[in-house]
Amino acid sequence: MTTDAPPPLSTTAPEPGPPTTEQFIRVQEGEEFGELRRSYRSFAFPLTFAFVAWYLLYVLLSSYAGDFMGAKLFGNINVALVLGIAQFATTFLIAWWYARHAARVMDPRAEAIKARMEADA
């Protein structure tokens, strides 16, 4: 003999849903998110400008200063090769610097905002 008894009632609270659009807008307009955005922009924009200027300098020197770029430094190594390798080194340095800055400054702020949003959801 089987009984079709209903399952026992759960005493735990239901899982909160995802944040609403209004919550996202409220956070985005908040001061804490503004500080996070300023922190990102104050790091990324000047560094991006400097790197693009450095890259364009290399391109302009390659186009208009062929004698300078072709000057041998030692053996078959010339200025163009050294500056070209420096472009790669600069790229990796900037990536490392940004990752360090993000982990130290931006990630804790972003995690705090995220935790607060999830708690409010």
pLDDT in tens, 14-62: 566 677 888 888 888 989 999 999 999 999 999 999 999 999 999 999 9
Is 58 among the domain residues?
Answer: yes
Range of the domain at 42: 21-120
Q: 106, 40 in Cβ contact below 8 A?
A: yes
57-91: pLDDT as tens digits:
999 999 999 999 999 999 999 999 999 999 999 99
Q: How many domains does the chain have?
A: 1
Is 55 among the domain residues?
Answer: yes
Residues 6+ apart with CB under 8 A from 121: 16, 17, 18, 19, 20, 23
pTM, whole model, 2 decimals?
0.71
Is 44 among the domain residues?
Answer: yes
Is 4 among the domain residues?
Answer: no
The rounded distance, in Å, linking the Cα atoms of 49 and 77 is 29
Is 108 among the domain residues?
Answer: yes
- Bridge partners of residue 74, in order along the sequence: 77
